[in-house]
């Protein structure tokens, strides 16, 4: 993996928030091979799973970390003392992933959710400014676009349809404000529909597999709606490339670049599992926009990003993991 910044190769000190999360843990695995990584994570279950199950999941997610290169800080980055401890490691790059795992959680409890998304980002930006961080990588969401069509580029209009998307867009604006006032370099990442081994059980691909493996009906909210589903390893690699590249102050779509309808996703999962599940379409969900394929040409051109997993390959890999996990 290319670890060059401004033409030189050397060991970097990198802070990853949400570093034990679904995507963050894969990023730490990739980075810890060659760099010193500080991880901050609060180990929140978000009411999705038991603490015991989360503990087992975290053990799996972190099993391939190069332990001597990773320092873990347990705590919430809204706590300024936790931030001070993290920044005492003098990170040169900050990769900020810590957030709620699903848009629905923020939309159902915005009083708690909005501060979690926005204030954590502001707290990290303030500390990054004070500690002279070289680059801040903010992992946003394709939800910032609202409804969008196939071929949507990063300079398209942003009109979020849910609170989560609006909160993420506000985070992007905060990043740009800090960059403008203090010269902080940044990159903004907009992933979409990330799935794969190590995922939480309540996300769409996970839920479809769970239903199919029990031969239960898979319920769709508008089966014609499409999502640019992205395999975990591809998303993590794209974020790492954006962090280590000399390219700065750019927004990137980091996705598979090939959207699939929810109906096709369900049909593919039924075929992979050999399930007898039926499919029921109950129509649009008010929280979710109409989506399509995101244009990833900028990431390809500037970062040499290239997704390696087709949807079928990714789903096969995820199914293998689900059958043999933990």
Residue 275 domain-assigned (yes or no):
no
172 SS3 class: helix
The separation between CA 316 and the C-alpha centre of its own chain, rounded to angstroms, equals: 21
Which CATH number is 134's domain given? 3.40.50.720
Q: Token pair for residue 317?
A: 């890999």
Report yes or no: 279 and 223 within 8 Å, Cβ to Cβ: yes
pTM of the shown model: 0.94
How many domains would you assign to the chain? 1
Does residue 61 lie within any of the structural domains? yes
Per-residue pLDDT of the chain (326 residues; tens, 9 = 90+): 333 334 345 799 999 999 999 999 999 999 999 999 999 999 876 777 888 999 999 999 999 999 999 999 999 998 989 999 999 999 999 999 998 766 677 777 777 778 778 899 999 999 999 999 999 999 999 999 999 999 999 999 999 999 899 999 999 999 999 999 989 999 999 999 999 999 989 899 999 999 999 999 999 999 999 999 999 999 999 999 999 999 999 999 999 999 999 999 999 999 999 999 999 999 877 778 899 999 999 999 999 999 999 999 999 999 999 998 75
Contact yes or no for 175/125 (Cβ under 8 A): yes
User: Per the domain annotation, does 315 fall within a domain?
Assistant: no
Strands (E), 183-301: 185-191, 194-195, 218-220, 226-227, 230-231, 250-254, 260-261, 279-281
Q: What is the model's pLDDT at position 2?
A: 36
**What ranges make up the beta strands (E) of 192-256?**
194-195, 218-220, 226-227, 230-231, 250-254
Domain membership of residue 140 (yes or no) is yes
Residue with tokens 């040169």: 92
Report which of 255, 314, 260, 265 is spatially closest to residue 291, judged by C-alpha positions.
Answer: 260
| Rounded Cα–Cα distance for residues 12 and 51 (Å) | 33
pLDDT attached to residue 9: 55
Nearest residue to 237 via CA among 66, 2, 27, 21: 27
DSSP 122: H
The answer to whether residue 1 is domain-embedded is: no
Question: Is the dihedral angle over the CA atoms 106, 107, 108, 114 positive or is it negative?
Answer: positive
Predicted confidence at residue 112, as pLDDT, reads 75
Domain residues for 76? 9-195+232-258+292-309
User: Is 280 within a domain?
Assistant: no
């Amino acid at each position: 993996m290319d670890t060059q910044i401004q033409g030189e190769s050397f060991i970097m000190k990198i802070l990853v928030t949400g570093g034990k999360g679904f995507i963050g843990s894969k990023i730490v695995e990739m980075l810890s091979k060659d760099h010193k990584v500080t991880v901050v994570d609060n180990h929140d279950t978000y009411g999705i799973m038991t603490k015991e199950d989360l503990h087992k999941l975290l053990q799996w997610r972190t099993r391939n970390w190069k332990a001597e290169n990773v320092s873990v800080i347990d705590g919430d980055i809204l706590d300024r003392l936790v931030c001070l401890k993290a920044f005492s490691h003098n990170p040169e790059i900050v990769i900020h992933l810590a957030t709620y795992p699903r848009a629905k959680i923020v939309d159902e409890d915005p009083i708690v959710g909005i501060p979690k998304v926005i204030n954590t980002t502001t707290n990290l930006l303030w500390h990054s400014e004070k500690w002279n961080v070289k680059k801040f990588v903010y992992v946003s969401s394709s939800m910032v676009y609202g409804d969008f069509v196939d071929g949507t580029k990063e300079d398209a209009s942003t009109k979020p349809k849910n609170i989560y998307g609006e909160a993420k867009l506000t985070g992007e604006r905060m990043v740009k404000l800090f960059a403008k006032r203090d010269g902080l370099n940044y990159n903004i990442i907009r992933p979409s529909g990330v799935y794969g081994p190590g995922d939480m059980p309540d996300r769409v691909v996970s839920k479809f597999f769970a239903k199919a493996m029990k031969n239960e009906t898979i319920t769709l909210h508008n089966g014609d709606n499409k999502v640019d589903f992205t395999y975990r390893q591809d998303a993590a690699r794209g974020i790492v490339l954006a962090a280590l590249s000399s390219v700065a102050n750019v927004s990137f779509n980091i996705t598979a670049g090939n959207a699939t309808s929810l109906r096709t996703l369900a049909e593919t999962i039924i075929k992979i599992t050999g399930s007898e599940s039926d499919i029921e379409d109950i129509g649009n969900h008010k929280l979710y926009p109409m989506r399509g394929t995101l244009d990833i040409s900028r990431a390809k051109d500037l970062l040499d990003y290239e997704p390696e997993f087709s949807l079928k390959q990714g789903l096969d890999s995820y199914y293998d993991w689900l059958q043999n996990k933990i």
